[in-house]
Amino acid sequence: MTELKYRELGRTEIKTFPLGFGGIPIQRLSKEEAVKVIHRAIEGGLNFIDTARLYNDSEEKIGAALKSIDKRIYLATKTPAGTKEEALADVGESLKNLGVDKIDIYQLHNVDTEEKFEKRMSEGGALEGLKKAQEEGKIDYIGVTGHSTELLMKLVKTDEFDTVQLCYNFIEDECEEELIDYCHENNIGMIGMKPFAGGALDNAPVTLKYILRQDGVVPIPGIESVEEINENIEIAKGSWEYTDEEAEVMEKLKAELGENFCRRCNYCQPCPKDIPISMVIRAKSFITRMPKEAITDEEGWIYGGFEKAKKCIECEECIERCPYNLEIPELIKDNLEIMDEFRNN
Ligand code: SF4
Ligand code: SF4
């Protein structure tokens, strides 16, 4: 057993257990099951939980679990709001759901297009709402999340954010080029989302050790069972060095996934049929992490995205733009089949 290295989240005063708790998958659990998993995580040492307004009842389940806990747990949540008023309303909802007077980190959620950047960062935008909430003592720190490393660089350079939530695993490692160094130099806390690449990676030791070894990034694996949390805690408390066998597995997985793996960078856009490509070519990620009702709701964004995908005209414009040369029209067809099968079962 190695000495446990707590992580400092940049300029915030937050010191976390090496792993945080990702609040997406508890949407799929009953309230009782979710509370049990969260309690086990806290007993095991975790002290940082991340969720979002968009994760259905995840905030409420976390609030329910925290009622009987007197240990200091740091909370982060997120708003998809565009405007100041919407962001302030979301902060109010989150406080109520989580059952606290103050939230440690409130993040702008998934700022992944220039349009979203402009709206949230300009006068009357969501950032202004979060600043107002901060002045009013409702939140401590402001963060941002996104999948585009390029846009995240632009966001952190505004110096408006105490933390950044970046997509990070050994397949999606673009943030190692510049973003991580910039955050270290400017004391911005780093929260690592999708350590398991949205379900594409399933070897926990190989996957988590890669991020744990990167100084300062706190990975927040989505957790939905006591077995998973126990395994993850063991890994965090053990040696983060790869065994020869693990190093081999990582190289093998890299080679296997490299050819078909979408990094969600969105360089393939715009699509003339408005297909949300990076979303529809990862059907399995939704199926394994989201509640079935959220996927099959005909009014929902997931259903709508897959319906749009049926209109692909195979123009291949996206392939030319994809830096990884993914065979996007083929991947769309495969994923539509997977989704159809899921909907019909
Ligand atoms: S091939 Fe399909 S997904 Fe790609 S740009 Fe054309 S219509 Fe859009
Ligand atoms: S298909 Fe290619 S360009 Fe589009 S998001 Fe995925 S990796 Fe990026």
Domain boundary among 208, 230, 249: 249
How high is the pLDDT of residue 18? 96
Across 211-226, average pLDDT:
93
Question: What does the pLDDT look like over 38-92, one tens digit per residue?
Answer: 999 999 999 999 999 999 999 999 999 999 999 999 999 999 999 999 999 999 9
Residue 290 and residue 222 in one domain: no
In this predicted structure, what is the pLDDT of residue 325?
84
Q: Are residues 287 and 218 in the same domain?
A: no
Extract the runs of DSSP E, i.e. beta strands, from the chain: 7-8, 15-16, 21-22, 48-50, 74-79, 103-108, 139-145, 163-167, 189-193, 217-219
Residues 287, 155: one domain? no
Cα separation of the two ends of the chain: 45
The residue whose C-alpha atom lies closest to atom 7 belonging to ligand 1 is 312
Q: Which residues does a 6 A CB cutoff place in the pocket of ligand 1?
A: 271-273, 275, 277, 312-318, 328-329
Mean pLDDT of the chain: 93
Task: Find, among 182, 79, 193, the residue nearest to 127 by Cα.
Answer: 79
As a whole number of angstroms, the distance between CA 169 and CA 175 comes to 10
62 domain residue, yes or no: yes
- Which of 249, 269, 285 marks a domain boundary? 249
Cα torsion 118, 120, 125, 128: sign: negative
Domain of 22, CATH number, reads: 3.20.20.100
- The residues facing 193 across adjacent strands are 167
Q: Does residue 142 belong to any structural domain of this protein? A: yes
Choice from 172, 324, 334, 335 to test ligand 2 binding pocket (greatest atom count within 8 A of CB): 324
Token pair, residue 170, equals: 């050994």
Residue carrying the six token digits 């600043």? 131
Is the model's pLDDT at 35 over the cut of 80?
A: yes
Q: What separation in Å is there between the alpha carbon of 240 and the centre of ligand 2?
A: 31
Tokens found for residue 209: 């050790």
The reported pLDDT for the residue numbered 2 is 58
What pLDDT is stored for residue 257 in this prediction? 78
pLDDT band of 256, cuts 50, 70, 90: confident
Asked if residue 302 and residue 176 are part of one domain, the reply reads no
Q: In terms of residue numbers, what domain contains 137?
A: 7-249
pLDDT value of position 11: 96
Measured from the alpha carbon of residue 317, the closest ligand is 1
**Number of domains into which the chain is organized:** 2
Locus of tokens 């806990």: 69
pTM of the entire predicted model: 0.85
22 and 111 fall within a common domain: yes
Quote the percentage of the chain above a pLDDT of 90: 80
Q: What is the mean pLDDT of residues 144-158?
A: 95
What is the pLDDT at residue 51? 97
> What is the per-residue pLDDT across 8-18, written as a single tens digit (0 to 9) for each?
999 999 999 99
* Residue 249 predicted with pLDDT over 60: yes
234 and 300 both lie in a single domain: no
Do 158 and 121 reside in the same domain of the chain?
A: yes
301 located within any domain:
yes
Residue 97 reports pLDDT greater than 60: yes
User: 175 and 70, same structural domain?
Assistant: yes
Confidence grade of residue 211 (pLDDT, cut at 50, 70, 90): very high
Q: Is the CB of 111 under 6 A from ligand 2?
A: no
DSSP codes of every residue in 298-337: TTSHHHHHHHHHTT-----HHHHH-TT---HHHHHHHHHH
Asked whether residue 324 falls in the same domain as residue 206, the answer is no
pLDDT of residue 1: 52
The answer to the question of residue 77 being in a domain is: yes
Whether 262 is in a domain gets the answer: no
Domain assignment present for residue 72? The answer is yes
Contacts of 215 (CB under 8 A, 6+ apart): 184
Residue 254 included in any domain = no
Whole-number Å distance, alpha carbon 301 to ligand 1 midpoint, is 19
Report yes or no on 303 lying in a domain.
yes
Q: What is the pLDDT of residues 274-317, one digit of tens each?
A: 999 999 998 988 888 788 888 999 999 999 999 999 999 999 99
Instruction: Give the mean model confidence (pLDDT) for residues 181-191.
Output: 98
Looking at the CA of 274, name the nearest ligand.
Answer: 1
Whether 239 and 319 map to the same domain: the answer is no
